[in-house]
Structure 1
Amino acid sequence: MIVSASRRTDIPRWYAPWLMNRLRAGEVLVGEPYRPHRLRRYALTPEGVDAVVFWTKDPRPLLPHLDEIKAMGYHSLLQFTLTPYGADIEPGLEDKGEILAAFQALGLRLGRERVLWRYDPVLLADAINVDWHRERFRALCERLSPYTDQVTLSFLDPYPGRPMDGLRAPDHREAAELAAYFGETARAFGLSAVMCCEAGDYTRYGIGRAACIDRERLERVCGCPLELKPDRGQRPGCGCCESVDIGAYDTCPTGCRYCYANRSPGRTAAGWARHAPDSPLLAGFPGPEDEIIDADCASARASQLRLF
């Protein structure tokens, strides 16, 4: 089993104490997104969890716990989003220079293969154009390439009912111009560039298809073959393998204007207020109205070594 922590909220930034309590307790409850009173109980043990994939914009609260996570027997890697946007777009993030320094420190500590950079989403606005991205993407490549081997790209996706307030995706011409620059620049700095959940073919720009939960990379992290199925629950074009997401929607206080996981500031504030570090749920406590189902938590380690 691969654990995602989390596509739905930034667990390393906001919920690191809760996560450590869940790992120490050896189990977690996760509500189904559209049936919140249907809870699945997952065993969190090194025998069943093959790897934990952390998704974050600021991992610093998690850093003091990395040695304990390793000592428990868990393998891990980080999907680390670092963009050049300011507080007008990503209001809940602190100084980007300090976050960049944390990325570099993690790359030295864990290795380039386990700290993966996300330049995501690529968006445009009144003061943000193609040239703006050119300048800042190159500067970040220069600063981050010694500490990671991959950059994941994607263009802004509008979601129904979630207004973007002046943010927009690049049009076809702008997307092609940016992709050509991103691919060439990443290659110049020794980075593999991949595109996440985009319908077009970007291979002509030297950009492959992303698999953020990537079997081959996870096998190298775990040191063994893994039998992982494609994740059918993600967006069209996603190349990920299956994982169990232990986060919850409407709980991330970072408040990024482009976020799809928070429906409104009021819902997010309510989710944050319900959080308790000692609960088995990320938001709230299980009650008598909840149905708890024990989920299959089998390891994906292959029973036989593959020859090819």
Structure 2
Amino acid sequence: MIINTGQRTDIPAFYPKWLANRFKEGEVCVRNPFNEERVSRYKLSPDTVDVVGFCSKNPAPFFEYMDVIKDYGQYWFVTITPYGKDIEPGVPDKHKILEDFKALSNMVGIDSIGWRYDPILVNDRYTVDYHLRAFEQMTEALDGYTKTVVISFIDLYEKVKRNFPEVSSVSRQDKHFLGKEIVKIATAHGMVVKPCGEGEFLSEYGADCRGCMTIETYEKAIGAKLIVPNKKPARKECACYISGDIGAYDSCGHLCRYCYANNDIEAVKRNMKLHDPDSPFLIGGYREGDIIHDVEMKSYIDNQLSLF
């Protein structure tokens, strides 16, 4: 089984004690965001959870709990962008996150961590030249600590348009130029560029367009072959294997203006107040009328075949 923590919120940054408690107690409950009375209950055990996938802009708050998940396979994506508080008001200083990335890489190993430089947006402040300078500086800092950098260009979802009305799509010309130069810089520092949901157009410059959080990614992290059930991608452009996300929408305190997972700031504030680190739910708890579905938990590891 694969458990994801980061498609809906940043759990390591804002809810690290809760996450540690879930693994200690071996159970987590997830409310269906589209039908709230339906609850999926996962039993957490190293015998059945093969990989835990993380996406975070600030992994350091979870560092004190890393020993709790030492028996689980892990893959971490850490997002580090060049934006300031005008775009990412709740994200800590980027120089600190770069150092935290290195520390995390040393903990989990270079095959279990990737860097996300996304989404890429272009405006009068964050110009094409600005991005290339910032990307080169960050790539130099992370040289030897990851083999992967994921990029994407901003998608104008309805939530994004509402919360960030002045943003615009990146032009085709800028996408090609930035993509080509980013691949060149990353390659010089031993990193493969993996575009996220961008189709195949960057493959001509040397990007790996097969997806970012794929089964192959997980297999390299744990050193084992996985036989997984077929799943439809989250969107047609996406090749990632998304399974068992335990987060909740409208609960991320980074408040990034491009975020697709936060609907509005007031909802985030309300939900964060409802968080209880001892609850099986990230937000709130059991409710009268809940319909509980105990998810079948089994390992996907092919014990007949090892990658190494």
TM over 0.5: yes
Q: Residue 152 of structure 1 contacts residue 210 of structure 1 at CA under 8 Å; is this kept in 2?
A: no
**Residue type matched to 1:293 in 2?**
H
Is 1:27–1:280's contact at 8 Å kept on the other side of the alignment?
yes
1:182 positional shift: 0.7
Does 2:90 match 1:92?
yes
Map 1:131-280 onto structure 2 (within 5 A): 131-163=129-161, 164-229=164-229, 231-280=231-280
- Asked whether the 8 Å contact 1:228–1:242 carries over to 2, the reply is no
Provide, for residues 193-215 of structure 1, a one-character-per-residue CA deviation record: whole Å limited to 9, x for no partner.
11001134211111111533322
Q: Given residue 185 of structure 1, which amino acid in structure 2 is its aligned partner?
A: I
Report the alpha carbon displacement of residue 23 of structure 1 after superposing the two structures with TM. 0.5
Q: Is the 8 A contact 1:4 1:52 kept in 2?
A: yes
Counterparts of 2:95 and 2:306, CA distance in 1: 43
Structure 1 residue 82: Cα displacement: 0.5
Compared CA separation, residues 251 and 216, structure 1 to 2 (3 A): same
Report the alpha carbon displacement of residue 128 of structure 1 after superposing the two structures with TM: 1.2
State how far apart, in whole Å, the 2-side matches of 1:235 and 1:245 are: 16
Q: 1:91 to 1:161 in 2, by over 3 A?
A: closer
**CA pair 196-231 structure 1, distance change in 2 beyond 3 A:** farther
- Matched position secondary structure for 1:279: coil
Distance 1:142 1:82 in 2: 13
Q: Provide Cα deviations, 1:44-92, integer angstroms capped at 9, x if missing partner.
A: 111110011111000011111112310xx21112011001111111000
Q: Describe the shift of the 1:63–1:156 C-alpha distance in structure 2 as closer, same or farther (beyond 3 A).
A: same
Instruction: Give the conservation status (yes or no) of the 8 Å contact 2:225–2:307.
Output: no
Secondary structure, counterpart of 1:147 in structure 2: coil
Q: Do the aligned partners of 2:274 and 2:283 also contact (CA within 8 Å) in 1?
A: yes
Q: Which amino acid aligns with 1:261?
A: A
Following the alignment from structure 1 to structure 2, what is the Cα–Cα distance between the partners of residues 206 and 9?
31
Work out whether residues 262 and 268 of structure 2, in 8 Å CA contact, stay in contact via their aligned partners in 1. Answer: yes
- TM-score normalised by L of structure 1: 0.95
State the identity as a percent.
38
Q: For structure 1, list consecutive stretches of 5 or more residues without a partner in the other structure.
A: none
Partner in structure 2 of residue 110 of structure 1:
108
- Bigger shift: residues 231-240 or 13-22: 231-240
Superposed structure 1 runs of 4+ greater than 6 Å apart: none
Q: Is the 8 A contact 1:213 1:243 kept in 2?
A: no
Matches of 1:239 and 1:293, distance apart in 2 = 27
> One-letter code of the match for 2:128?
V
1:125 positional shift: 2.0
* Alpha-carbon shift at residue 232 of structure 1 (Å): 1.3
Conserved? CA contact 2:14–2:252, under 8 Å: yes
Q: Is the 8 A contact 1:156 1:258 kept in 2?
A: yes
Question: Mind listing any 5+ residue stretches in structure 2 that lack a counterpart?
Answer: none
201-210 or 18-27, larger mean C-alpha shift: 201-210
Instruction: Work out the CA distance in 1 between the residues paired with 2:149 and 2:306.
Output: 29
Count of residues in correspondence between the two structures: 306
Cα shift at 1:233: 4.4
| Cα distance in 2, alignment partners of residues 191 and 161 from structure 1 | 32
